[in-house]
Copies of this chain bind each other. A is one copy, B any other.
Amino acid sequence: MTENIVPNATIKRLPIYYRYFQFLKDEGTKKISSGELAEGIKIDSATIRRDFSYLGALGKRGYGYDVNELVDFFKKLLNQDRRTNVALVGVGNLGNALLNYNFSRTSNVRIAAAFDIDPEIVGTVKSGVPVYDMNEIKEQLELQQIDVCILTVSSNAAQKTANMLVDAGVKGILNFTPIIVNVPNNVRVHYVDLANELQTLIYFLDHDSSLDHE
C-alpha cells in the first residue's frame, strides 16, 4: 500500500546499484560520484542522480555518495537485510542449475524448497534443497511462508502449474518457460526467456548500425 512514486525504470536498476555499491565497499572505496558510477555501470550520470533523488537517498554536494551509507540504504530498500525464501518448481535441467546457482553470494534470497512430480527425485535433496511432491505445494508454501516461486517446468505444464501456484497463494512468479501464463492480476509474473534474449541480441547485431546500448 506504499504509494508508487518510484518509476518502474528506476526499480529495475535498483539491484544493479545495490550490487555495485557492495562491490565498491569490498574494494574499500569510501565515496563515489555519479560520474564515476556512470563509468562503472554504464548508466548515464544524470539518470543515476535522478534515480537516487526519487529514493530520497542523499548524496553530498561537492562530495558524492558515501558507499557504506548507500550499501545500507539499498540493502534495506531491497529487503536484503532479512532472508527471503523462495521455492523452485520443476527440477529438470534448468531447475537443477538454478538450485546450484549461488544466489546467496550477492543476494539474501534463498531457494528453500523445490517441487516436482517425478517420484525418482521427490524426497531427495538437491544442492541442499529438499524436493517435495507437487501435491504438497500448498502445505509447504504455507508452512515455510513462501510467496515467490521460480517456474522451471516444461512448457506444456506451465499454465497448469501456474494455476496450482496461484491456488497455493503465491504472489510472484519468475517464469523461465516461454509460455505467457494467465493469472489473477494480484499475482505478478516476470519472464526470463533465454531463447528470446538470444534472438533479440542477434536481431540487433543483424539490423543495427548504431552504437546503442541494451
> Which residues in A have some Cβ–Cβ distance to B below 8 Å?
1-4, 6, 8, 11-12, 14-16, 18-20, 40-42, 77-80, 84, 86, 93-94, 96-98, 100-101, 103, 106-107, 109, 147-148, 150, 171-172, 174, 178, 180, 185-186, 188-214
| Shortest beta-carbon contacts, A-B, top 5 | A97-B97, A15-B196, A15-B199, A185-B211, A107-B195
Contacts of A201 in B (CB 8 A): 148, 172, 174, 188, 190
Contacts of A2 in B (CB 8 A): 207-209
Contacts of A77 in B (CB 8 A): 203
Q: How many copies of this protein are present in the complex? A: 2
Q: Which chain B residue shows the least CB distance to A173?
A: B201
Give the shortest distance, in Å, between A188 (CB) and chain B (any CB): 6
29 A-B pairs whose Cβ atoms sit less than 8 Å apart in the complex: A2-B207, A4-B209, A8-B212, A15-B193, A18-B199, A41-B180, A78-B202, A78-B203, A79-B202, A79-B203, A80-B199, A94-B97, A94-B101, A97-B97, A97-B98, A107-B199, A109-B195, A109-B198, A109-B199, A148-B198, A148-B202, A148-B205, A172-B201, A172-B204, A185-B213, A188-B208, A190-B201, A190-B214, A192-B194
Contacts of A203 in B (CB 8 A): 11, 14, 77-79
Of the residues B12, B42, B197, B209, contact of A200 by C-beta under 8 Å = B12
15 additional A-B pairs beyond A78-B199, A148-B201, A172-B202, beta carbons within 8 Å, are A2-B209, A6-B207, A16-B196, A19-B196, A93-B97, A109-B198, A148-B202, A172-B201, A172-B204, A172-B205, A174-B197, A174-B198, A186-B211, A190-B197, A192-B192
